[in-house]
Structure 1
C-alpha cells in the first residue's frame, strides 16, 4: 500500500463527504477508493470512518488522523513548492484562528487582497470564541485576547483591547450619565451572554480583581454586533471592545461613560506554532497584516512590532 496515496485519498473522502464523490474527483474507481480506505484502517488497526449507504462520519480516531494527515500533506506540498521554479513565492495553506467577531470584521475583509497577491496560497479562517489547540488543530497563526499563561508560547503583541461602557447621546440625555459604577443599577443595561440570567461587570477599584457589579439586564444578546446596534439605537448601556465601537465614538453615535473606572486593557497577541519554524507562508501573512495595520491599527500601538524571529 502506498501510504501517502492512501492518506491523500482518505483526506479527499472526508472533504468530499463520500467515497463516490472522492472517486469522481480523483479520478478513480469507487472500488479502488474503498480498498485504499480499508487497507489504511487495517494498517492503523482502527476504524476511521463509519459508513452506511447514505451517511459517512469520522470516528474519534478518524478525526485525529484527518487533521494530522491534512497537515502532513500540506507540509509536503509546501516543500515541493519551495523546491520548484516558483519556490521563491509562498505556497500552501495557512490555517488561522481568531475570535468570531474580530475575525469577521477585521481579518476577513483583508483576505481577498492577500490571496490576490499570493495566488499560490490558500487560507482556512477558523472563527471560534475559544482557545484552540494549535498543534492538535493544525493552526499556524492564532489571534488571542488576554494574558498568556505559558511564557514559552511564541507570540507577538499586536495591541490591546479595552472593554468600555457606552450609550447613545439620546439615551444619556433621557436617563442621565452614570458617574460611578453603582449608578448602573438605575440604568437599562444591555448584556452579552449565551445564557440570560445574572451577569457581572468588573471595574477598577485599586485591587487586582476589581469591583464586581451584578447586572440584571434589560436586554440579553449573544451577539456583540446586535448589542452595539441596540445601544446605538438608544436601548441602553452596553459594554463592548474598544475596537468595535471606535467609529461610533468618533462619529458621536455612542458616548463613553465610566472611563475612570475601566480595568486595564487586555493584550492582543498573534500566536505561532511553537513546534515549527516560521515558514514563508506565515511570514507572508504577518508581513501583510503588519502593512495593513501599520498606520491604522484597530488596537492602538503595540509594545513591539509585528515580526517573526528565527
Structure 2
C-alpha cells in the first residue's frame, strides 16, 4: 500500500544522494543551486524524519554512517527506478534524446574515443554527452555513469559486458635511443636501461613478461616517470628511455617510425591488459540514447581495435 507520507522525503533523499556522491555539502549545494547551509538543513530534516544519523560531521570531513550507507543504497535504487520511468516515457520518441554520461581511461579517451565523439553528436543532435576521464575500477551508480570503457582482463561481473576487441601492451623506444644504448634482447636487459613508467603505485616499475612457459618479473628504473601516456610517449620519442604503451597509443608513432617496438616476442601483462570492454548496468528498459551510443561505438571501435598494428 502506498504511503503518502513518503512523498515529502523524495526530494530530500535525492539531495542526500548528491551530497554522498560529491563528498561535501559545498560541492553538492553548488550543483543544486542552493546554499550549503540550506542543504545542511535539508539533510537534518531528513535525519529527523528517518530518526537516524546519516553523517558524522567534523570540520574537515563528512563521513557516512553505517545506517547512512543503507539509506544511500536504497535511495539510489529509487532514483534509478525514477530514471527508468523517464526512459519508458521517452521510448516512443523517434529521435534519441537526453543526457548521457560515459567514462573511459584517459589514454583510451584521448587516442581512440576523441575523434568519434564529434561525429556521434552530429548524428544525434538531441543527445547531451558528458565524458569523464577515469582509470581503474568505477562504481557506475555512485558516479552517475551510464556506460564505461575499461581495459581489463577482469570485467565487472555485475555489469553487462560488451567486448570490443583485444588491447595489447607494447614496449618501445626511439631509434636514436636504441642506436646509442643498444636494443634489449631479453627482459632482464631492461635493468641496464632507462625506463619510463607510470609512478602511480609502488609496483608500476615492475614489468611482467611472459613467453610460453617462461615468466620474468623485472624491476625497472629510470630518471623520468609520469602517469600521462602522451607525456610518456613524448619522452620516449625524445630518447629518454624505453616505455610501455597500449597499442592504440603508439599506433601512429609506429607507422611514422618515431618509435620502434622491442622484445616483440614477449607478452607484457598489467592491470590494464586484456580486452577493450564497454560495460553498463542491466536494465529492462534501456534508454534510446544509450542504445544508439553502444551500437555506434561498437561498430566504429570494432574496426579501430582490430586495426592496431601491435
> Taking structure 1 as reference, are residues 57 and 68 closer, same or farther at Cα in structure 2, changes over 3 Å only?
farther
Deviation at 1:274, TM superposition (A): 3.6
Q: Which residue of 2 aligns with 1:290?
A: 298
Matches within 5 A, 1:203-218: 203-207=209-213, 210-218=215-223
Deviation at 1:174, TM superposition (A): 1.6
Say if 2:46 is the partner of 1:40: yes
> Taking structure 1 as reference, are residues 233 and 42 closer, same or farther at Cα in structure 2, changes over 3 Å only?
same
Q: Which residue of 1 aligns with 2:238?
A: 233
What is the aligned counterpart of 1:60 among 60, 64, 68? 64
Measured in 1, the distance between the counterparts of 2:235 and 2:181 equals 16
Mean CA deviation greater in 11-20 or 43-52? 11-20
The 8 Å contact of residues 71 and 138 in structure 1, kept in 2 or not, is answered as: no
Measured in 1, the distance between the counterparts of 2:11 and 2:201 equals 47
Deviation at 1:259, TM superposition (A): 0.3
Deviation at 1:200, TM superposition (A): 1.9
Measured in 2, the distance between the counterparts of 1:188 and 1:7 equals 54
Mean CA deviation greater in 130-139 or 176-185? 130-139
Q: Which residue of 2 aligns with 1:90?
A: 96
Aligned length: 293
Deviation at 1:258, TM superposition (A): 0.9
Measured in 1, the distance between the counterparts of 2:110 and 2:8 equals 41
Matches within 5 A, 1:191-202: 191-194=197-200, 199-202=205-208
Deviation at 1:227, TM superposition (A): 1.4
> Taking structure 1 as reference, are residues 171 and 111 closer, same or farther at Cα in structure 2, changes over 3 Å only?
same
Deviation at 1:277, TM superposition (A): 5.2
- Normalising by structure 2, report the TM-score: 0.74
Deviation at 1:210, TM superposition (A): 2.1
Q: Which residue of 1 aligns with 2:4?
A: none
> Taking structure 1 as reference, are residues 290 and 149 closer, same or farther at Cα in structure 2, changes over 3 Å only?
closer
Measured in 2, the distance between the counterparts of 1:97 and 1:69 equals 23
Q: Pairwise CA RMSD of aligned residues?
A: 4.0
Mean CA deviation greater in 114-123 or 282-291? 114-123
Mean CA deviation greater in 268-277 or 278-287? 268-277
Give CA deviations for 1:51-103 in whole Å, capped at 9, x if unaligned.
Answer: 89xx9975425688678757744653563364359633334443323223223
Deviation at 1:125, TM superposition (A): 3.1
Mean CA deviation greater in 113-122 or 246-255? 113-122
Q: Which secondary structure does the structure 2 equivalent of 1:234 belong to?
A: coil
Mean CA deviation greater in 184-193 or 81-90? 81-90
Unmatched tracts of structure 2, length 5 or more: 1-6
> Taking structure 1 as reference, are residues 163 and 13 closer, same or farther at Cα in structure 2, changes over 3 Å only?
closer
> Taking structure 1 as reference, are residues 104 and 75 closer, same or farther at Cα in structure 2, changes over 3 Å only?
farther
- Normalising by structure 1, report the TM-score: 0.74
Say if 2:108 is the partner of 1:102: yes
> Taking structure 1 as reference, are residues 170 and 57 closer, same or farther at Cα in structure 2, changes over 3 Å only?
same
